[in-house]
Amino acid sequence: MAPAAAAPRPAGTNGSAQAARASVPAIATPTPTPGTVAPSRPRKLTFHGSAGTLFGIYVVNVLLTIATVGFYRFWGRVRVRRFILSQTGFEGDRFAYHGTGKELLLGFFKAVLFVVMPITVLSIAAKLIEDRTVHAATQAFTSVLVFMFVPIAMVGAWRYRLSRTSWRGIRFSFRGRAWAFVRLFVGGSLLSTLTLSLYYPFFQARQQRFMISQSYFGRRPFRFDGHGRDLFGAYVVTLLLFLPTLGFYWFWFQAKKTRYFWEHTYFETARFRSTVTGRQMMNLMIGNLVLLVFTLGFGWPWVLVRSTRFAFTYLTVEGALDLSGIVQEPQLATATGDALSSLLGADVDFA
């Protein structure tokens, strides 16, 4: 397209216009100084994996697990985690998983030796003791022991999995103390029970703050500044509508909680934002359930890929983000907590 012709100027205005322009001081374009980070457009996590590829991994894992009487399942779990992270990208680079099957196997043996076996022995002893008082006390002690190991397993699993995850060669880490989380977990569970679950949103927010605020990428921490009181009203409405909606309104509360938790999660000056809705979450969960039922479980790879892609679709990172100055600071972690979390059914949100 040809440039538009300049409009004619009235006679006698040329000199005055130039003088006026000369009297206005020039505004220099600011030049970024080293170390400053300008705000950028929202960033997104992307997932490139296909369910077909994961299905091939899944079939091989099942066959080798059967052939090795269950021992290959640790290596199979590593293959799945490695696939999921290697297909997850951010700013053009993929994540990586560095755990090994040997670590998971040794962690499993430690968890069985130091946790599962003592609890099993106590349970058997309780059944053999004829004195009802001693029997009841032994059973109560066993139940308390199992309950205490749940938060320990959650922290151990999160510590191990973050320590084996990296992006651009920099590892994540978790530095929270297990016993601090045990106190939080036990206190929150008791208060939730005593208040007929009304303490639940406060308990959830406190758990989230502990897990996120003790997580690091290199030497830089994440932050969480959410409060349970902000979710309390929505939770009460959910309780009131749970039966009238046959439980379906729970998806709307879960979506609100997900949005709130992400929007109060920060990495330096950047924060996360989620736009997921209750209807979208309900459609995902029901779709996954139908897929698993009609495929007799063989649709699990499609469920995992759908869930991963779904989580990233509605998630963005907004704000200034300086990624070039992050320095590695590895943290030691064993796979015992990872194995224990699986045995106790206290798994964290990770493949």
* CA distances (Å), origin 53, targets 49, 79, 289, 307, 311: 7, 12, 21, 16, 20
Residue-wise pLDDT tens digits, 87-146? 999 999 999 999 999 999 999 998 899 888 888 888 887 778 777 887 788 888 888 888
Looking at residue 270, what is its pLDDT?
94
Residues contacting 45, CB < 8 A, separation 6+:
88, 89, 90, 312, 315, 317
Structure tokens that stand for 227 in this block:
């409060």
The residue ranges of DSSP E strands in 106-219, in sequence order, are 165-167, 170-174, 215-217
The residue ranges of DSSP E strands in 91-128, in sequence order, are 93-97
Looking at residue 28, what is its pLDDT?
42
Torsion of CA 288, 286, 205, 200, to 10 degrees: -130
Residues contacting 336, CB < 8 A, separation 6+:
107, 110, 111, 114, 156, 160
* CA distances (Å), origin 107, targets 66, 168, 271, 333: 21, 27, 34, 11
Looking at residue 72, what is its pLDDT?
97
Residue 44 has φ and ψ, to the nearest 5°, of -130, 145
Please state, in angstroms and rounded to a whole number, the distance separating the CA atoms of residues 291 and 255.
22
- Sort strands 165-167 and 170-174 into parallel, antiparallel or unpaired: antiparallel
Residue-wise pLDDT tens digits, 50-82? 999 999 999 999 999 999 999 999 999 999 999
Q: Where are the domains of the chain?
A: 47-99
> Mind listing the pLDDT tens digit of every residue in the chain (351 residues)?
444 444 444 444 444 444 444 444 443 444 444 444 545 678 999 999 999 999 999 999 999 999 999 999 999 999 999 999 999 999 999 999 999 999 999 999 988 998 888 888 888 877 787 778 877 888 888 888 889 999 999 999 999 999 999 999 999 999 999 999 999 999 999 999 999 999 999 999 999 999 999 999 999 999 999 999 999 999 999 999 999 999 999 999 999 999 999 999 999 899 999 999 999 999 999 999 999 999 999 999 999 999 999 999 999 999 988 877 787 765 667 666 676 677 666 665 543
Looking at residue 135, what is its pLDDT?
77
Structure tokens that stand for 163 in this block:
């320590």
Please state, in angstroms and rounded to a whole number, the distance separating the CA atoms of residues 170 and 95.
10
Looking at residue 346, what is its pLDDT?
62
